[in-house]
Structure 1
């Protein structure tokens, strides 16, 4: 058991934020509201290969005249020196895509902490929101933990749950968690520098980590049961790249679907009907409500389907 180290109250505690995406934005907003002196922000450049649907940490930092840095490798020696020269009271990370070296973590006088969008020790690592839905979890949440030499494995100082409904997608879950973070983080960060939080070691027997997901990991295996495929679809639905299959050489992306129980036997991937579009799975049938084909980047193509696109008896692969 550890108690958060109390910062001197004569002046605002200084902090360096390492953050990106909506969680990074929520974290920076919370630090400002909580009375921290944010001496610098480390974030990432937006990628042309990524759907940037989220708020900009850089824009918020610029609004408050906070210096912003976007290094390719934050652990490069010159950046380590710069961070140590800033000598922050705290380091806070949220959705930052590089793990910090021990040399950086030790630069924080009163500790380095991460806000992770899962109920640690479950779903350590990357793509945790997607994995929560893929695995059929009924709850997720946010966790404030100390940073140590094992990613996402440090003592937990605060944690709150949020339910996952059967209709949630990664995007709706992302919004739930971001809204929760916007409410809780100002309270947590205030409690942190007042020394009112106690850290508890994680239960390693309950730890899980499934790794970073890439767009190609969304390829549907029709031998799976329909409910597992539906979970994959929910986990990767827009604005993520989508779960997909091959339809006679075209990439068919499924955005929304439902499960129909069935005792009938078909080759997995067989198109059973067109209107509605139904496909046989290893168990049960998937009824597809919304999909798109190659060069149709967003949901809605199913409302424009023509008879030549997909035919009964076709096998999706």
Structure 2
């Protein structure tokens, strides 16, 4: 029988754990952070009740690379270990601890978009589609062989908040799709085509500055890409930082705040003023 473990400390990972049981799978080990860690982390959850109800051994550790974590994986004789919703990078020892390997998710259609800030970049680049990839982790960054993918269609109205929710839903759908094959020991892994690989760099809050001399379409794209849960696109007026959370391209006056570009008007519908003087 295939034995599976799961590492997470956030709601998305917990939802994926639930999805495993919804399609008839089971877990033989769960690993999470110590209770006093990452209390302010967005979506931080605790696995105690779920693990107790399902009879899943639960280990809490300060870091996924701790010796006790590696030993617990080996003691449980895991075939596969999922790491989803976890910011710590797994060491080579962790990657080699399960018999068949470690599986992770990346919110692009690998090999496109290896790296950081996948949701903002998908919108900023004006892609027609993105998605979520389940793949086997290796020593590279998002370079391991692919198990499966789910596509997400994009249009010129989608924003980061909507795409974030669609990416979360795709994680759960992909888990449900793959678990039956995983439990039957029938997974087929496909190496990524390096000739198609692209890497997206990390982004900083200051990268959200709107170019007031540029195109209204670029500005609108930036607003959509950086809205909540991200830091927001912004510009300055008389020492005031205007963070734009929602805007539309329109010739009609829809709000009390409008930016005129050479090729159109951006009507700002939701914004926040920050005094930086």
Q: TM-score range by the shorter chain?
A: 0.7 to 0.9
Q: Quick one: which of 10, 25, 39 aligns to 2:14?
A: 25
Are 2:148 and 1:158 aligned? yes
Structure 1: tracts of 5 or more residues without a match: 1-7, 262-272, 296-317
TM-score scaled by structure 2?
A: 0.84
CA contact (8 A) 1:84 1:104 kept: no
Which residue pairs with 1:69 in the alignment? 60
Aligned residues: 267
Please identify, of 228-237 and 178-187, the stretch whose mean Cα deviation from structure 2 is larger: 178-187
RMSD: 2.7
TM-score scaled by structure 1?
A: 0.74
For the residues of structure 1 that align with 2:74 and 2:206, how far apart are their CA atoms? 39
CA contact (8 A) 1:141 1:162 kept: yes
Pick closer, same or farther for the CA change 1:231–1:213 going to 2, 3 Å. Answer: same
Q: Report the alpha carbon displacement of residue 100 of structure 1 after superposing the two structures with TM.
A: 1.1
For the residues of structure 2 that align with 1:246 and 1:201, how far apart are their CA atoms? 47
Pick closer, same or farther for the CA change 1:216–1:79 going to 2, 3 Å. Answer: farther
Q: Report the alpha carbon displacement of residue 181 of structure 1 after superposing the two structures with TM.
A: 2.8
Q: How does 1:212-291 map to 2 (within 5 A)?
A: 212-259=202-249, 275-281=255-261, 283-291=263-271
CA deviation digits over 1:125-182, x for unaligned, max 9? 2321121112111211111111111121111111111111322111111212222332
Pick closer, same or farther for the CA change 1:43–1:216 going to 2, 3 Å. Answer: farther
Q: Report the alpha carbon displacement of residue 202 of structure 1 after superposing the two structures with TM.
A: 0.9
Which residue pairs with 1:187 in the alignment? 177
CA contact (8 A) 1:99 1:151 kept: no
Are 2:162 and 1:172 aligned? yes
